Amino acid sequence: MFRRFALLVLVLVLVLVLVLVLVLVLVLVLVMLMASGVVCSAAGAAGIVWSGPFAIDRQVPFANPDGLGPVSCARSSLCVAIDARGRSGSLEATRS
């Protein structure tokens, strides 16, 4: 009885070690692919580059100490923002 239990524990430990080794190998392969540029983010694949922050409107309603609250961009060319007082404003990009 003890031998069967010991054998079962040994088999379970070996299976666990094998699973851990496989996970480690998969992680290393993924890291190598990411480092080589084969795997990239969706944003990088689409060529999207985010700029730093800048003021988009200094006129009312955004020229107030309340500042902007939530910002929602329904399309890549249209964003709508709400200030702390509940007033909204939008920024629509156009092609030049």
**Domain range list for the chain:** 2-43, 51-92
Q: Give bridge partners of residue 43 from the DSSP assignment.
A: none
On the question of pLDDT at 2 being above 70, the answer is: yes
- Please give the pLDDT value at position 57: 64
- Please give the pLDDT value at position 10: 92
pLDDT tens figures, 36-88: 655 555 545 455 566 777 776 666 655 555 677 778 888 777 888 887 778 88
Buried-state track 36-59, b at ≥16 Cβ within 10 A, e below 16:
eeeeeeeeeeeeeeeeeeeeeeee
Query: What order do you get walking across the sheet with 78-83 strand by strand?
Result: 68-75, 78-83, 88-92
What's this model's pTM, rounded to 2 decimal places? Answer: 0.37
Helices (H) and strands (E) in the chain, counts: 2, 3
On the question of pLDDT at 13 being above 60, the answer is: yes
Q: CB count, 10 Å around CB of 79?
A: 16
Q: CB count, 10 Å around CB of 61?
A: 16
| Long-range contacts (CB closer than 8 Å, 24 or more residues apart) made by 16-25 | none
